[in-house]
Amino acid sequence: MQTITLIYGDGIGKEVIASAKAVVEASGAQVDWEVQEAGAEAAEKYGKPIDDAVLESISRNGVALKGPTATPVGKGFRSVNVEIRKRLDLYVNLRPLRSFEGVKSLYQNIDLTIVRENTEGLYIGIEKQVDEGRAEATKVITKKASDRIVKYAFDYARDMGKKKVTAIHKANIMKLTDGLFLNCAKEIAQGYPDIAFNDKIIDAACMDLALNPYAYDVLVAPNLYGDIISDLGSALVGGLGVAPGANLGDGVAVFEAVHGSAPDIAGKDLANPTSAILSSAMMLKHLGMKEEGQRIEDAIAACFASGQMTGELGGTLGCKAFTEAIIKNMK
């Protein structure tokens, strides 16, 4: 029996994680749950958004399923996600993007994966107010982090039968930081002659992804660019509601929906739980429960193909009814 740390988080987290939990249980997966609290509600209750006991639980179990956690903008505590990623050294943010038949989206038959560096770049949290009219942020790129993320992208490509890895950067302007990332990528690529490699400047890549996403297979990027193309990529397949995500380190992994806590629809049974459920399917596959994970993905695909979906995708079902439909479609 595999124990999984379960964090509901804030806002719609309670609804989409409850849905994912029910679907995982219905898939036949042999798991039990250790519930932990984190996020804005936890901050209000306990004075901090995440306690060391939560991180300890994730480390001990080696795996967590997490709902979105709210972060105040421009003030207050730092993001729980950044904290978890940094403290557990979850250096990979993995976002596979695929289209589903029946889901209205910009493109059909998309199958691409974004591998985002998760621990450094512009997200290290070093900012200073120099004076009233000037603020500065520090960007850090290291060879160690660049090598390991690019290596992960190539290993993933090899394991999943992918054909090409594209490194995303802005080395024409940030010659030292992004230059280092790009040089690392080029060097690592030489060790994978069976997989094609190219690189693309972030702005050009954004336009290209919107116009011709089929030109891409696996994309690997430093933190900020990875963040941007992940959301852009989600838009290609029907939005944040249908894109799963994982944060991976050595021996520890946190699976989470890629959308936020959606306070505008929280508690109204309007949330689409697909992102959380697909993340939990990825989690089961990661834990070696491949059949159960696949069963979940197939049940979601069957729902979409027969027009069963939540309101924001054009359907008529609420979160609960959609969850029941997925469970009914499970074979």
- Judged by CB under 6 A, the chain residues 163 through 222 that form the site for ligand NAI are none
Q: Residues 80-99: x/- map of binding to ligand NAI (CB under 6 A)? A: -x------------------
> What's the burial of 224, exposed, middle or buried (CB within 10 Å: 0-12/13-18/19+)?
middle
Contacting residue, 259, 282, 302, 303, with ligand NAI by CB under 6 A: 259
Max Cα separation, the chain? 62
> Quick check: 71 binds ligand NAI (CB under 6 A)?
yes
Task: Determine whether 285 is an active site residue.
Answer: no
> Quick check: 241 binds ligand NAI (CB under 6 A)?
yes
DSSP strand E in 132-261: where? 134-137, 164-169, 196-201, 218-221, 244-248, 253-257
State how far the Cα of 28 lies from the Cα of 46, in Å rounded to an integer: 35
148 vs 259, beta carbon nearer ligand NAI: 259
Task: Determine whether 170 is an active site residue.
Answer: yes
Q: How far is the CB of 27 from ligand NAI (least distance, A)?
A: 20
Task: Decide: helix, strand or coil at residue 205.
Answer: helix
178 vs 256, beta carbon nearer ligand NAI: 256
> Which residues touch 9 (CB under 8 Å, ≥6 apart)?
17, 38, 39, 66, 67, 68, 69, 70, 261
- Judged by CB under 6 A, the chain residues 36 through 55 that form the site for ligand NAI are none
> Quick check: 69 binds ligand NAI (CB under 6 A)?
yes
> Quick check: 240 binds ligand NAI (CB under 6 A)?
yes
Q: How far is the CB of 1 from ligand NAI (least distance, A)?
A: 27
Task: Determine whether 32 is an active site residue.
Answer: no
55 vs 141, beta carbon nearer ligand NAI: 55
Closest CA to 243 of 24, 71, 93: 93
> Quick check: 116 binds ligand NAI (CB under 6 A)?
no
Q: How far is the CB of 263 from ligand NAI (least distance, A)?
A: 6
State in Å, rounded, how far the first CA of the chain is from the last one. Answer: 22
Q: How far is the CB of 170 from ligand NAI (least distance, A)?
A: 23
Closest CA to 280 of 41, 26, 108, 1: 26
Task: Determine whether 156 is an active site residue.
Answer: no
**Residues binding ligand NAI: number (CB under 6 A):** 21
**Three-state secondary structure along 57-109?**
HHHHHCEEEECCCCCCCCCCCCCHHHHHHHHCCCCEEEEEEECCCCCCCCCCC
> Which residues touch 226 (CB under 8 Å, ≥6 apart)?
93, 114, 115, 116, 117, 118, 168, 220
Q: Which stretch binds ligand NAI (CB under 6 A): 155-163, 181-189, 222-230, 271-279?
A: 271-279
Q: Which of 32, 89, 203, 250 is catalytic?
A: 203
Contacting residue, 83, 256, 292, 297, with ligand NAI by CB under 6 A: 256
180 vs 283, beta carbon nearer ligand NAI: 283
Closest CA to 259 of 6, 9, 44, 4: 9
Binding-site ranges for ligand NAI (CB under 6 A): 12, 16, 68-71, 81, 240-241, 256, 259-265, 271-272, 275, 312
Active site (catalytic) residues: 123, 170, 203, 227
